[in-house]
Structure 1
Amino acid sequence: MSSRQTKTDVILIGAGIMSATLGSLLKELAPDWKMTVIERRSKAGEESSNEWNNAGTGHSSLCELNYTVEKSNGSIDISKAIKVNEEFQVSKQFWSYLVKSNLIRNPRDFVVPVPHMSFVQGEKDVSFLKKRFAALSDNPLFAGMEFSEDPDKLKEWIPLMMKDRDANQPIAATRIESGTDVNFGSLTRILTTHLKSKNVDIKYNQNVDDIKRAKDGSWELKVRNVENGSVERLNAKFVFIGGGGGSLHLLQKSGIPEGKGIGGFPVSGLFMVCKKPEIVAKHRAKVYGQAPVGAPPMSVPHLDTRVIDKKESLFFGPFAGFTPKFLKFGSNMDLFTSIKPHNLVTMMAAGVKNIPLTTYLIKQLMLSKEQRMEELRQFIPDAKSDDWELLVAGQRVQIIKDTAAGKGTLQFGTEVISAADGSIAALLGASPGASTAVSVMLEVMRRCFPQQIKEWEPKIKEMIPSYGTTLMENPELIADIQQSTAQTLGLKDAAAKEKARTVS
């Protein structure tokens, strides 16, 4: 078995949206750096980034009810909603820069306007939605949001969901036209193709068997070709672990103290999908509801218009499930091999704390198609089973760690773990993930390239005009950014056409 050694400046593990984004940023800021991407699969964007493995919602808190929490005094905490929205504005600015620079030719290949809506039933949830709307609508980040309890207005917005609905139950919805459907798989492939054109070495069908610190402080990776078994040793000054669910194992292999005591809890997702044009044509929105009691936040039910390969379909879900795999194409041993002496107590504490969650996931996994259809009928009362098929989506691994809330606390969201010297960083966690990729990768660069970040600042501001400022403190900048990114990404005219279609 052959083994050779190759030196490079930067290694990106995983050819998903995170590595593609970090690579694209670094190529603009340090074009001379030698860069290598390592991917286990045969193509880019095959796991969590793939368009069939996620909901494609440009997460900006326009519809996600779990980003706004009702406090004990009855007020609505919108701090997370603001944070996620601002981060999505950063992503849109970078994408716009790539379009203006002709690095992305046609933005419609990955982003299209789709209204974002929240939909609730019952007096309690209608009251919550009304308070949520009041809290958000005063904020410039959420300008243009509408609220209605009027069945006739809701028939205009969501005719498919209103047909044959019980008129006696209180219902309400919010709607905002500036929402998006994002094909993160397509965007990943576009960015990866761009990186290849910039002489980035992209290695497919390669598995990282080991990561070790070299004597000079750099990192040495043992990389195995999964097709022929040949082994190559790669050496780099900086390594980014962006392998989705596979990142935890790789972080553990690195041995950095910052990775100790962290565990992972895998959650699988399934969607019901409808591709029948006559049904799809009756619904154009991403409509999010309230999560069932006991469900993880990532299991908020939603009925989404998706645009994949220029064809529209409807996704409903996600239905949560449990498998010990950390990746969709992973191993059933993933969960067990992630348990180490340093995280054993944390994992055991999480197991005890999350028995109700585990029970919920197992019950979800055992649902029949008809039981899933009954949940769908909460959204589409006259949904027919023959019109929908089951799709197994991507695998997500939630972070487990000890926090102020106690040992073995399950974390929701994404988190960067980096070495003290900034020579290696890993991204763990799940939603809102891809939507906030640019903000997250800027955080990686701030941590890992502190000497260069000041020098890079003018270029970063050229790519992301809001960099270094808080949008909430600058309403005029919010308006400018929203208008300019909508124009550049081709969302403005398309949104106007959508409004005309809805009214007619």
Structure 2
Amino acid sequence: MSSIQKKTDVILIGGGVMSATLGSLLKALAPEWEIKVFEKLANAGEESSNEWNNAGTGHSALCELNYTSEKSDGSIDISKAIKINEQFQVSMQFWSYLVNCKLINNPQDFIMPIPHMSMVQGEKNVAFLKKRFEALINNPLFKGMEFSDNPEKLMEWIPLIMQDRPSNEPIAATKIDSGTDVNFGALTRMLFDHLKNQNVDIKYKHCVDNIVRTSDGSWELKVRNADNGSIERHTANFVFIGGGGGSLHLLQKSGIPEGKHIGGFPVSGIFMVCKNPEIIAQHHGKVYGKAKVGAPPMSVPHLDTRFIDNKKALLFGPFAGFSPKFLKTGSMFDLVTSVKPNNVLTMLAAGAKEMSLTKYLIQQVMLSKEKRMEELREFIPNAKSEDWDLVVAGQRVQVIKDTAEGKGTLQFGTEVITAADGSIAALLGASPGASTAVHVMLEVINKCFPQHMKEWEPKIKEMIPSYGVSLMENPELLHEIHTSTAETLGLSAKELAYS
């Protein structure tokens, strides 16, 4: 086996939407920099970013009830919903910039307009949904949202859900037409095609086996060619670890202090996919329900219209599963080998605190198809088992770390771990993930390249006009951005509340 050493400016590990986004941003800001990408699979966007491995929701808190919690005084906290909505607007602006500059084409291949709805049952939940609606409706980010508990109106909005439904239980929904379905797999492949055109060196079937600091402060990667086993050594001034569930092991190998006392817990997702075109045609929207008491945030049930390969699909889920793998293509030893002397106490503390999650996962793994059908029938009362198949979605590694709330706290969001000197960054965690990729990668750039930010700011503002500005506090700018992104991305005005 030969060993070749090569030096470059930036190395991106992983061929998902995060690496694709960071590479695209850096190529716009520093076109002269040399960038290399290493992906262990044969193509881009095959793991977490793949269209079958995530929900495809443009997460903007329009329908996700877990982003608006009820406080002890009964009021609704909308701060997280505002934050996530504004972050999604950043992604929309960057995608529009790429389309306008003809750096990517055919936006309808990765983004489609679709109503986002929340649907609840029972008096208590209906009261909560109405309070949530009243808390959001006067905020310009949620303009155009409607609420109804009228069965006739709901029959117009969600006929498949309302058909044959017993009339004795209160039911209500909110609807907003400015939601989106995003095919993150297609977007990832488009971004990597763009990077290839910008002379970025993308190596597929190349595994990063190790990462160490060199005496001059740069990072050396041991890269193995999966086809022939040959080894190359690549060094870079900056490394981004964007390998989904595989990021934790590489972060640990880097040895940076910021990566210590962090663990990961893998959770897999299972969706039910409708194979009956007549049923698929009866539903148009992403309808999110409320998680059951004791269930984790990632288990919120939803019935989704999806657009995959320009075909309409209908998915319901997610159901949780468990595998010790950190990636679908990972190893059965991933969880065990991620436990190190510096995080073992953190992991044990999480195990003791999260007994309810363990119990929930065991129950979910044991579910038969018919039991899953029973859950689906809470959304579609007359659902027939023969119309639905099971599809195993992606693996998500939930971050475990020590926080102010205590040792071994399970985090359900997206985490960026950065070395103090900004020479290396790793992305861990899950939802809202891909929807906020541009915001998250701008944070990486800000932390890792502070010396360039003054010089780069005009270009960032050209790509993202709202950069550094609160859209909620600038409704005129928000309206202008919504109008222009809708036009550029082909989200027709009649589908949007901001026309």
If the TM-score is normalised by the length of the shorter chain, which range does it land in?
over 0.9
**Could you tell which deviates more after superposition, 472-481 or 410-419?**
472-481
Does structure 2 conserve the Cα–Cα contact (< 8 Å) formed by 1:304 and 1:314? yes
Please give the per-residue CA displacement for 1:77-132, whole angstroms capped at 9, x wherever unaligned: 00000000000000000000001000111110100001000000000100000000
Q: Which residue identity does 1:375 align to in structure 2? A: E
Show the counterpart of 1:75: 75
Matched, 1:21 2:21: yes
Does structure 2 conserve the Cα–Cα contact (< 8 Å) formed by 1:276 and 1:313? no
The Cα of 1:492 is off from its aligned counterpart by 2.1
Residue 251 of structure 1: SS of its match in structure 2?
A: helix
Show the counterpart of 2:314: 314
Show the counterpart of 1:501: none
Residue 491 of structure 1: SS of its match in structure 2?
A: coil
The Cα of 1:494 is off from its aligned counterpart by 6.4
Please give the per-residue CA displacement for 1:280-301, whole angstroms capped at 9, x wherever unaligned: 1100100000011221101100
Matched, 1:332 2:332: yes
The Cα of 1:275 is off from its aligned counterpart by 2.9
Query: After superposition, where does 1:206-221 map in structure 2 within 5 Å?
Result: 206-221=206-221
Show the counterpart of 1:502: none
Q: Which residue identity does 2:290 align to in structure 1? A: Q
The Cα of 1:469 is off from its aligned counterpart by 1.0
Show the counterpart of 2:10: 10
Show the counterpart of 1:156: 156
Alpha-carbon distance between aligned partners in 2 of 1:398 and 1:483, rounded to the nearest angstrom: 36
Alpha-carbon distance between aligned partners in 1 of 2:234 and 2:297, rounded to the nearest angstrom: 39
Show the counterpart of 1:297: 297
Show the counterpart of 2:125: 125
Query: After superposition, where does 1:354-369 map in structure 2 within 5 Å?
Result: 354-369=354-369
Query: After superposition, where does 1:221-300 map in structure 2 within 5 Å?
Result: 221-300=221-300
Q: Which residue identity does 1:158 align to in structure 2? A: I
Please give the per-residue CA displacement for 1:377-419, whole angstroms capped at 9, x wherever unaligned: 0000000000000000000011101111111000011011000
Alpha-carbon distance between aligned partners in 2 of 1:365 and 1:306, rounded to the nearest angstrom: 25
Q: Which residue identity does 1:202 align to in structure 2? A: I
Q: Which residue identity does 1:329 align to in structure 2? A: T
Show the counterpart of 2:59: 59
Alpha-carbon distance between aligned partners in 2 of 1:394 and 1:439, rounded to the nearest angstrom: 23
Query: After superposition, where does 1:343-358 map in structure 2 within 5 Å?
Result: 343-358=343-358
Alpha-carbon distance between aligned partners in 2 of 1:275 and 1:449, rounded to the nearest angstrom: 48
The Cα of 1:493 is off from its aligned counterpart by 4.2
Alpha-carbon distance between aligned partners in 1 of 2:403 and 2:446, rounded to the nearest angstrom: 24
Alpha-carbon distance between aligned partners in 2 of 1:450 and 1:234, rounded to the nearest angstrom: 25
Does structure 2 conserve the Cα–Cα contact (< 8 Å) formed by 1:57 and 1:180? yes
Q: How many equivalent pairs are there?
A: 497
Please give the per-residue CA displacement for 1:134-159, whole angstroms capped at 9, x wherever unaligned: 00001000000000000000000000
Matched, 1:88 2:107: no
Show the counterpart of 1:441: 441
Show the counterpart of 2:36: 36
User: Identity, % of aligned pairs?
Assistant: 75
Residue 408 of structure 2: SS of its match in structure 1?
A: strand
Alpha-carbon distance between aligned partners in 2 of 1:148 and 1:473, rounded to the nearest angstrom: 28
Show the counterpart of 1:388: 388
Does structure 2 conserve the Cα–Cα contact (< 8 Å) formed by 1:113 and 1:494? no
Residue 455 of structure 2: SS of its match in structure 1?
A: helix
Q: Which residue identity does 1:124 align to in structure 2? A: K
Q: Which residue identity does 2:152 align to in structure 1? A: D
The Cα of 1:355 is off from its aligned counterpart by 1.2
Q: Which residue identity does 2:77 align to in structure 1? A: D
Show the counterpart of 2:427: 427
Residue 24 of structure 1: SS of its match in structure 2?
A: helix
Show the counterpart of 2:487: 487
Alpha-carbon distance between aligned partners in 1 of 2:290 and 2:105, rounded to the nearest angstrom: 38
Alpha-carbon distance between aligned partners in 2 of 1:4 and 1:30, rounded to the nearest angstrom: 27
Moved over 4 A (4+): none
Alpha-carbon distance between aligned partners in 1 of 2:494 and 2:326, rounded to the nearest angstrom: 38
Q: Which residue identity does 1:408 align to in structure 2? A: G
Please give the per-residue CA displacement for 1:257-303, whole angstroms capped at 9, x wherever unaligned: 00000000111000000132111110010000001122110110000
Show the counterpart of 1:410: 410
Alpha-carbon distance between aligned partners in 2 of 1:196 and 1:104, rounded to the nearest angstrom: 12
Give RMSD over aligned pairs. 0.9
**Runs of 5+ unmatched residues, structure 2:** none
The Cα of 1:475 is off from its aligned counterpart by 1.4
**Could you tell which deviates more after superposition, 291-300 or 90-99?**
291-300
Alpha-carbon distance between aligned partners in 2 of 1:431 and 1:300, rounded to the nearest angstrom: 12
Alpha-carbon distance between aligned partners in 1 of 2:483 and 2:70, rounded to the nearest angstrom: 31
The Cα of 1:372 is off from its aligned counterpart by 0.2
Show the counterpart of 1:192: 192
Show the counterpart of 2:450: 450
Alpha-carbon distance between aligned partners in 2 of 1:354 and 1:468, rounded to the nearest angstrom: 38
The Cα of 1:477 is off from its aligned counterpart by 1.1
**Could you tell which deviates more after superposition, 179-188 or 483-492?**
483-492
Does structure 2 conserve the Cα–Cα contact (< 8 Å) formed by 1:320 and 1:364? yes
Residue 471 of structure 1: SS of its match in structure 2?
A: coil
Please give the per-residue CA displacement for 1:316-340, whole angstroms capped at 9, x wherever unaligned: 0000111111101111100000000
Alpha-carbon distance between aligned partners in 2 of 1:234 and 1:412, rounded to the nearest angstrom: 33
Residue 165 of structure 1: SS of its match in structure 2?
A: coil
**Runs of 5+ unmatched residues, structure 1:** 499-504
The Cα of 1:468 is off from its aligned counterpart by 1.1
Alpha-carbon distance between aligned partners in 2 of 1:192 and 1:198, rounded to the nearest angstrom: 10
Alpha-carbon distance between aligned partners in 2 of 1:301 and 1:440, rounded to the nearest angstrom: 26
Provide closer, same or farther for how the CA distance between residues 460 and 372 of structure 1 changes in structure 2, counting only shifts above 3 A: same
Show the counterpart of 2:109: 109
Show the counterpart of 2:176: 176
Matched, 1:139 2:139: yes
TM-score, length-scaled by structure 1: 0.98
Alpha-carbon distance between aligned partners in 2 of 1:151 and 1:262, rounded to the nearest angstrom: 48
Residue 473 of structure 1: SS of its match in structure 2?
A: coil
The Cα of 1:168 is off from its aligned counterpart by 1.0
Q: Which residue identity does 1:256 align to in structure 2? A: I
Q: Which residue identity does 2:423 align to in structure 1? A: S
Does structure 2 conserve the Cα–Cα contact (< 8 Å) formed by 1:275 and 1:312? no
TM-score, length-scaled by structure 2: 0.99
The Cα of 1:341 is off from its aligned counterpart by 0.3
Please give the per-residue CA displacement for 1:457-478, whole angstroms capped at 9, x wherever unaligned: 0000000000011112211111
Alpha-carbon distance between aligned partners in 2 of 1:397 and 1:416, rounded to the nearest angstrom: 13
Please give the per-residue CA displacement for 1:181-229, whole angstroms capped at 9, x wherever unaligned: 0000000000000000111000111111100001100000000112211
Alpha-carbon distance between aligned partners in 1 of 2:283 and 2:15, rounded to the nearest angstrom: 33
Alpha-carbon distance between aligned partners in 2 of 1:276 and 1:37, rounded to the nearest angstrom: 40
Please give the per-residue CA displacement for 1:465-499, whole angstroms capped at 9, x wherever unaligned: 00011112211111111111111111024627x9x
Alpha-carbon distance between aligned partners in 2 of 1:263 and 1:385, rounded to the nearest angstrom: 39
